[in-house]
Amino acid sequence: MMTSKAIYPGTFDPITNGHSDIVTRASKIFDRVIVAVASNPSKKPIFTLEQRLDMIQKSLQDLPNVEICSFNSLLVNFAQKKQANILVRGLRVVSDFEYEFQLAGMNRRLAPNIETIFLRPAEQYAYLSSSLVREVSLLGGDVSGFVHPYIQLKLTELMNNK
């Protein structure tokens, strides 16, 4: 019997409730979901890779079929290494579509055996992004409705140390 294994890639700087919603829903569709955290230094993340992995682990610990790991390679190569043939991508708003459509096309060209599927987060998270959460937190706003309590604590700690 073939098991379905999907990868949900991202920088997750930090993981938001919108990301968690996508992972939770994907975990009900696929036997195994790998949350693949891109090291992505070009994006200049505010959290280290280790911090992001820790925060994701804590916020998704109730999902037994979810694995969290990092990668620093071409996504399709990582997927092949993990023997996953499905990429899960979140689509919040129409403006996400063009970029995601280009990525899916490139990934299909590089690895025709890997499919990309798109999931929309729940309505209340459709506007939410890591960059918005970072900005609200940096300016002293309440992000409790946007992130897991552990992530809120880590954002507060980070902002207090700046």
Rounded to an integer, the average pLDDT of 44-72 is 96
Return the SS3 of 66: strand
159 pLDDT tier (thresholds 50, 70, 90): confident
Q: Name the token pair of 99.
A: 């970029």
Choice between 161 and 72, residue whose per-residue pLDDT is larger:
72
| pLDDT grade for 2, boundaries at 50, 70 and 90 | low
The catalytic site residues sit at 19, 43, 92, 130
Structure tokens at 87: 């990429």
User: What's 4's DSSP letter?
Assistant: P
Q: How far apart are CA 12 and CA 53, in angstroms?
A: 9
| pLDDT at site 145 | 94
| Band of pLDDT at residue 103, cut at 50, 70 and 90 | very high
Domains for the chain: give ranges and CATH numbers: 5-160 (3.40.50.620)
- E strands along 11-162, which residues? 32-38, 66-71, 86-90, 115-119
Contact 66, 37 (CB under 8 A): no
Cis omega (within 30 of 0) on the bond before 14? yes
- Which pLDDT band holds residue 94 (cuts at 50, 70, 90)? confident
pLDDT of 1 reads: 52
Beta strands in 24-155 (DSSP E): 32-38, 66-71, 86-90, 115-119
